Chain A
């Protein structure tokens, strides 16, 4: 986690093609993610945002193109290299995907137990530390996922994603299903953690407030390609019809007004 002078590309996607049957979801798509940034990926429903994320992390087979993570081509990576890379990223699934038969503490400890040899004491302390960092109390540690509210599930899942101190965190719609207040708090949490831990965040989202508040760059997916990337200003300046209706629609202007009224506190 050394500090970088120039932005280093940690994920490099080139000419990626993914399809199911006759349907091509991603068509020769290219995208770069820089170290230390929060990249928001937006697009209409069914535009392939989640497919892109799942292809990068290896849950979906691609048809063509290449993906490099930390400069390693995932197609040519050996088993050991791939495993090393997998320790360096953490994933927050849309519905948390906590293991329902384990308590929150055991969920957070699961990656530590699998990949590190630590004493039980250190694992307990680290699990509680991670839970504290995502805003859960030690009392929540021994609850089962079924006993948690939606926001707590997301926080616990984030703690598990951060268990091994990854360098990249993939977030699949982190604020979906949360009320606006919890969503705002979750955005702030991601921002704070991103800054203290020096994370690179790759976030699939629909939430205009999140895009305004925490994303350094936004990539818009339409027609199987990334049509625009850049900061919010670039989005507002874009002529692409989907981008225009997304970022300049009624909901977008409302979100923008909220941002203007309440300047964001960033620690």
Chain B
């Protein structure tokens, strides 16, 4: 592409004579716009386009804009010498932007802020319904499957169990092992000040079995498996696979969601159990290496400190947390709309809400177990 645009103006007989040359193209459009704006306003004028070497829609529009601005002020303005092969283009461009663009809505910042708060609250309230809906649909699907056991998707459930259960084992073990070790180290460090190091075993045992084991595992599973459920179902929704399933007379809840949620409900207690073992192992290892407590003493103290009640309290919570994660992940997946952005948004929401609900559930269970004396 050649030289930039040139616009020279001369005044003769009270008329403004503009003469254009160079390339009036997209590449030079910014420069050209400034050139045109700097043209002095005045009476009648004309522009000679004969010297223009290249001309595209950008140049054509800027010329058209100049013409319109001049004529809007009631001034005479003529375009002369436009090469024939650019006439069609100029004519086409002159047909555009005739109707005024719809005005951008300008609103009071305070009011729109209030409005967004209100909408947010209303949306948060409405958010509960898809989850309840999903829970109900899931219950109905379970009943149907009990009535017709052959319609249960065993292969799919086993596949998901492999993905969310078996394949999650290494990372869950590693993280809970580290967390058990960290709790033990912190306990030993602080309890040492008043010679209560042996109580570290009680702390690690009770904390891990009752709370931390299942909570950490549930949060990990929400991030790892819940997000993948949302993304999978969301992209199926985007590509109309879910609609296709429905038209073939199959209930997506029964075919896609039940096996996934069931896999989570089975996998999470197992993972929580394995995670608790790994955390106790990590705690014991740190008590030995950092606190100088031999493994025999650790196991002996652990036997005194914990009872099956603590273990039960942890394990009872796990399937409920799994159900919450599964329901939220699948409901968010089905709320995905057409765009890639919406898929990302719902996946984020799914993870954030699952983790939130898991923690709330944990608190509710803590109150419950305290009141029944477990």
Contacts and interface: CB of A to CB of B under 8 A. Distances in A.
Contacts of B61: 122, 125-126, 129
Contact of A101 (B89, B99, B341): B341
B339 A145 contact: yes
B92 interface: yes
Contacts of B339: 100-101, 144-146
Nearest to B32: A122
A221 B110 CA distance: 63
Contacts of A185: none
Contacts of A138: 99, 101-102
Contacts, number: 88
B70 interface: no
Interface stretch (B50-58, B167-175, B260-268, B323-331): B50-58
B108 to A, nearest CB: 21
A6 interface: no
A117 B31 CA distance: 9
Nearest to A122: B33
Contacts of B58: 122, 126, 165
A118 B31 CA distance: 8
Interface residues of A, number: 35
A122 B101 contact: no
Nearest to B344: A101
A223 B211 CA distance: 66
A114 interface: no
Interface string B328-345: 000000000111111000
Interface in B219-260: none
B353 interface: no
Interface residues of B, number: 33
Interface centre among B53, B88, B95 (most CB of A within 10 A): B88
A128 interface: yes
Given A116-B26, A144-B339, A198-B85, A1 B99 contact: no
Nearest to A128: B97
B123 to A, nearest CB: 19
Nearest to A105: B101
A145 B338 contact: yes
Contacts of B33: 118-119, 122
B40 interface: no
A149 interface: no
Interface in A136-168: 138-139, 141-142, 144-147, 162, 164-165
Interface of B: 25-27, 29-30, 33, 53-58, 61-62, 65, 85, 88-89, 91-93, 95-97, 99, 101-102, 337-342
9 contacts: A100-B338, A100-B339, A116-B30, A122-B33, A124-B101, A129-B57, A165-B56, A196-B88, A196-B91
